[in-house]
């Protein structure tokens, strides 16, 4: 490649977004006035060469007549030696030309890839200065208040610890795209300006200038478009899809927008989707992590079983604790707090050996999440049971409890009892708290599972109305016959989630592709045929022209990267995230607009009372 230099960087475990060592090639024009090499490239083999580097001044050490500068760019850090006074400050952008020399053996820095050499500057050009006081030290940005970090995100991103997450995200997306193409999928782009449809969250609305009183909506997902592509005769669709939902923020959910690996296939069933998902997820986590990963195929857990055993449809299977239904056991026990309500139990091995403060913390947590208390029974060294509830249990009942739960010495059995709508959720939170308090969760593993057999419908607790619980475009198990003959609350759907370490990575479904099934399914949820034709005109119409059976899912890219980067907050893997209040502090969004802009869009602001 004439006139160019192909620079290789061996990225070590310490400095790389990859856990397996990777060689990255970077083409840099060697006639460029700014650099012949990057700041992460130089080694012993470059000794004696005259090189040019450009980057930001990371640290300054003045040794009286000799100044040592660490110059930083995306690829690493190189020490530069100046034999003259340096008159600028940190974060100044420099171009330095000089000779590469080996460091003295006692000054070698093993923490950086270039730590065996340094550049003795012969020419230094200041490209631009940081003329304003830094709001934080770049290397300490992750310890700074989030509002300050996000207001100066361009500085925050200079921190290598922050930057590596964004680079990891790029590599993960590249991997996902290549893997989907390898599996025969075709990449599509679908519209960003579309129509509003009831898909479970609030829409972001865009007023139309040309059509007064009408609005576009930003897509919550490309759901209808990808189904229309299947009806159009395309076989395997995928997209790195931006999705927009006006939802409140959580640690694992960005407000406003997020990205997903959206894919759909024609003439397939649930198992076909699982095979693709396993191939892609296992490959991605194997490539970008050195942690143990669930063996294939991933375990499949029915929704009802997940709610009972783990108290959630997003179970963290690294936690070995399981929940047991003890309702029937206590049916003939004269203990008033457990009367006529479901009871759950969790056996925590050797918890009886914990200090008094452990039980006090667990009780405080139980009260914090809305429980009236947290009963428990411990197994003593002599095999006897101890706890306030024991006196309500006959010897026969105590023996039954030992046998059913396989209780061992030093075990503690915790009880959770509440209303049917609450008990599973409360038990799940206690299970998680016990797993954390007892250090039972293996942090060096990714545990995947599919949650299957979701209920098609649920009852609104406030109104009593029957509603969709998941994706309304899913095929009911049993098809039209199930819709016509079964209690709606007993109908299961061909819906599924993929969960990793307690984080929902994706939802998906086998889609409803028959207009008569679609009509009946929505009718049960309170929609008339006129409603369907108005809210979903394209899809409903398309289904009358021959639609193939089809299915798909959409793993969330932000959450995948968050797990791989081992970050607790999803904002750490997004280049320019909003804060938890859905504000972009860097760009001052949302912001007021001019009266002229409002008039053009036919919008009048109504003040809230």
pLDDT, tens only, 587-604: 999 999 999 999 999 999
pLDDT above 50 for 421: yes
Q: Is 537 part of any domain?
A: no
CATH number, domain of 263, equals: 3.30.930.10
CATH number, domain of 418, equals: 3.30.1360.30
What does the pLDDT average to over 541-553? 97
What does the pLDDT average to over 278-303? 97
Tell me what pLDDT residue 11 has: 44
What does the pLDDT average to over 539-553? 97
Q: How far apart are CA 158 and CA 160, in angstroms?
A: 6
Contacts of residue 275, defined as CB under 8 A and 6 or more positions apart, other chains included, come to none
User: Each residue of 242-262: pLDDT tens digit?
Assistant: 999 998 887 788 888 999 999
Residue given tokens 């969790």 in the structure block: 346
Which of 15-24, 430-439, 473-482 shows the lowest per-residue confidence on average (mean pLDDT)? 15-24
User: Each residue of 51-109: pLDDT tens digit?
Assistant: 999 999 999 999 888 999 999 999 999 999 999 889 899 999 999 999 999 999 999 99
pLDDT above 70 for 480: yes
What does the pLDDT average to over 453-464? 92
Longest Cα pair distance anywhere in the chain, in angstroms? 90
Q: How far apart are CA 342 and CA 325, in angstroms?
A: 8
Element (H, E) at 124: strand 117-128
Last residue of a domain, one of 133, 163, 190: 133
Q: What is the rounded average pLDDT for all residues in the chain? A: 92
By CB atoms closer than 10 A (0-12, 13-18, 19+), residue 213 is: exposed
Helix (H, G, I), strand (E, B) or coil at 62: strand
Question: Which comes out higher in pLDDT, residue 6 or 451?
Answer: 451
Q: Say yes or no: 84 and 154 in one domain.
A: no
Phi, psi (5° rounding) for residue 217?
A: -130, 145
Last residue of a domain, one of 390, 409, 441: 441
Q: Is 526 part of any domain?
A: no
Tell me what pLDDT residue 470 has: 85
Tell me what pLDDT residue 65 has: 85
Spell out the SS3 assignment of 355-376.
Answer: CHHHHHHHHHHHHHCCCCCCCE
Q: What angle do CA 418, 422, 425 make, to 5 degrees?
A: 115
Q: Say yes or no: 246 and 378 in one domain.
A: no
What does the pLDDT average to over 154-177? 98
Q: Say yes or no: 260 and 387 in one domain.
A: no
Please report, for residues 36, 197, 527, the alpha-carbon distance to residue 200 in angstroms, rounded to integers and kept in the order given. 53, 9, 15
Q: Say yes or no: 410 and 282 in one domain.
A: no
Please give the model's pTM, rounded to 2 decimal places. 0.91
Tell me what pLDDT residue 608 has: 78
Q: What angle do CA 599, 604, 606 make, to 5 degrees?
A: 165
Domain count, the chain: 3
Answer yes or no: are the C-beta atoms of 260 and 219 closer than 8 Å: no
Helix (H, G, I), strand (E, B) or coil at 91: coil
Tell me what pLDDT residue 9 has: 47
Tell me what pLDDT residue 22 has: 44
Tell me what pLDDT residue 26 has: 52
Q: Say yes or no: 159 and 244 in one domain.
A: yes
Q: Say yes or no: 110 and 160 in one domain.
A: no
Element (H, E) at 154: helix 153-156
pLDDT above 70 for 585: yes
2: confidence class by pLDDT, cuts 50, 70, 90: very low
In total, the chain counts a number of residues equal to 609
Tell me what pLDDT residue 25 has: 47
Q: How far apart are CA 320 and CA 310, in angstroms?
A: 10
Residue given tokens 């330095």 in the structure block: 96
Q: How far apart are CA 493 and CA 491, in angstroms?
A: 7
What does the pLDDT average to over 9-32? 49
pLDDT above 90 for 505: yes
Q: Is 519 part of any domain?
A: no
Q: Is 465 part of any domain?
A: no
pLDDT above 50 for 452: yes
What does the pLDDT average to over 527-536? 92
Tell me what pLDDT residue 30 has: 54
What does the pLDDT average to over 213-239? 96
Q: Say yes or no: 112 and 220 in one domain.
A: no
Question: Which comes out higher in pLDDT, residue 17 or 151?
Answer: 151
Q: Is 484 part of any domain?
A: no
What does the pLDDT average to over 147-175? 98
Q: How far apart are CA 349 and CA 378, in angstroms?
A: 10
Q: Say yes or no: 50 and 184 in one domain.
A: no
40: confidence class by pLDDT, cuts 50, 70, 90: very high
Tell me what pLDDT residue 31 has: 59
Q: Is 387 part of any domain?
A: yes
Which of 27-41, 155-169, 277-291, 449-463 shows the lowest per-residue confidence on average (mean pLDDT)? 27-41
Answer yes or no: are the C-beta atoms of 446 and 295 closer than 8 Å: no
Q: Say yes or no: 415 and 331 in one domain.
A: yes
Q: Is 287 part of any domain?
A: yes
Q: How far apart are CA 321 and CA 256, in angstroms?
A: 35
Q: How far apart are CA 185 and CA 261, in angstroms?
A: 12
Q: Say yes or no: 260 and 348 in one domain.
A: no
Percent of the chain residues past pLDDT 90, beyond the cut: 88
| 277's tokens | 């998902």
Q: Is 459 part of any domain?
A: no
Q: What is the DSSP string of 489-534?
A: GG-BBSEEEEEETTEEEEEEEEBP--HHHHHHHHHHTT--HHHHHH
CATH number, domain of 90, equals: 2.40.50.140
Residue 575 carries which DSSP code? S
Q: Say yes or no: 91 and 212 in one domain.
A: no
- Domain range for 243 is 146-292+548-609
Element (H, E) at 226: helix 223-231
Last residue of a domain, one of 133, 155, 184: 133
Which of 189-198, 224-233, 315-324, 490-499 shows the lowest per-residue confidence on average (mean pLDDT)? 189-198
Q: Say yes or no: 178 and 124 in one domain.
A: no
């Amino acid at each position: 490649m004439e006139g160019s230099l192909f620079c290789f960087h061996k990225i070590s475990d310490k400095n790389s977004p990859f856990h397996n060592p990777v060689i990255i090639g970077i083409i840099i024009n060697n006639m460029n006035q700014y650099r012949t090499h990057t700041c992460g490239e130089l080694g012993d083999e470059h000794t004696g060469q005259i090189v040019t580097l450009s980057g930001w001044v990371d640290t300054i050490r003045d040794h009286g007549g000799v100044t040592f500068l660490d110059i930083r760019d995306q690829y690493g850090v190189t020490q530069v030696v100046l034999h003259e006074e340096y008159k600028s400050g940190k974060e100044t952008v420099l171009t330095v030309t000089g000779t590469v020399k080996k460091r003295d053996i006692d000054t070698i820095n093993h923490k950086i890839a270039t730590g065996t050499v340094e550049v003795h500057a012969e020419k230094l050009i200041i490209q631009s200065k940081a003329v304003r006081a830094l709001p934080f030290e770049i290397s300490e940005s992750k310890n700074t208040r989030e509002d300050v970090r996000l207001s100066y995100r361009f500085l925050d991103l200079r921190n290598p610890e922050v930057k590596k997450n964004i680079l990891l995200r790029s590599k993960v997306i590249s991997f996902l795209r290549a893997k989907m193409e390898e599996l025969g999928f075709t990449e599509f782009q679908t519209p960003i300006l579309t129509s509003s449809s009831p898909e479970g969250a609030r829409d972001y609305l865009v007023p139309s200038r040309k059509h007064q009183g009408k609005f576009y909506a930003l897509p919550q997902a490309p759901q209808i478009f990808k189904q229309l592509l299947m009806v159009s005769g395309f076989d395997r669709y995928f997209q790195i899809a931006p999705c927009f939902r006006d939802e409140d923020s959580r640690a694992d959910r960005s407000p406003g927008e997020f990205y997903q690996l959206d894919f759909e296939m024609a003439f397939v069933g649930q198992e076909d989707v699982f095979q693709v998902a396993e191939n892609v997820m296992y490959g991605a986590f194997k490539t970008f992590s050195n942690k143990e990963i669930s063996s294939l195929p991933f375990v499949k857990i029915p929704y009802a079983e997940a709610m009972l055993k783990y108290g959630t449809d997003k179970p963290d299977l690294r936690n070995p604790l399981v929940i047991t239904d003890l309702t029937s056991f206590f049916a003939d026990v004269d203990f008033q707090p457990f009367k006529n309500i479901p009871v759950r139990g969790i056996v925590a091995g050797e918890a009886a050996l914990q200090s008094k403060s452990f039980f006090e913390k667990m009780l405080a947590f139980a009260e914090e999440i809305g429980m009236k208390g947290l009963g428990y029974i411990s197994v003593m060294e002599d095999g006897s049971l101890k706890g306030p509830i024991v006196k309500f249990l006959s010897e026969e009942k105590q023996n039954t409890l030992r046998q059913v739960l396989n209780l061992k010495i030093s075990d503690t059995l915790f009880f959770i009892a509440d209303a049917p709508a609450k008990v599973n959720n409360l038990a799940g939170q206690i299970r998680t708290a016990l797993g954390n308090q007892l250090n039972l969760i293996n942090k060096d593993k990714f545990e995947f599972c599919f949650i299957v057999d979701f209920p098609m419908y649920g009852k609104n607790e406030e109104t009593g109305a029957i509603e969709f619980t998941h994706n309304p475009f899913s095929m009911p198990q049993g098809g039209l016959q199930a819709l016509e003959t079964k209690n709606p609350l007993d109908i299961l759907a061909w819906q599924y989630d993929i969960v990793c370490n307690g984080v929902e990575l994706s939802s998906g479904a086998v889609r409803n592709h028959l207009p008569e099934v679609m009509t009946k399914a929505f009718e049960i949820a309170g929609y008339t045929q006129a409603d369907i034709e108005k809210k979903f005109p394209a899809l409903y119409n398309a289904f009358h022209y021959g639609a193939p059976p089809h299915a798909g899912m959409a793993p969330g890219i932000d959450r995948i990267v968050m797990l791989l980067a081992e970050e607790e907050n999803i904002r750490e893997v997004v280049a320019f995230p909003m804060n938890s209040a859905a504000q972009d502090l860097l760009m001052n969004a949302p912001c007021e607009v001019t009266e002229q802009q409002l008039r053009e869009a036919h919008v009048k602001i109504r003040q809230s009372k």
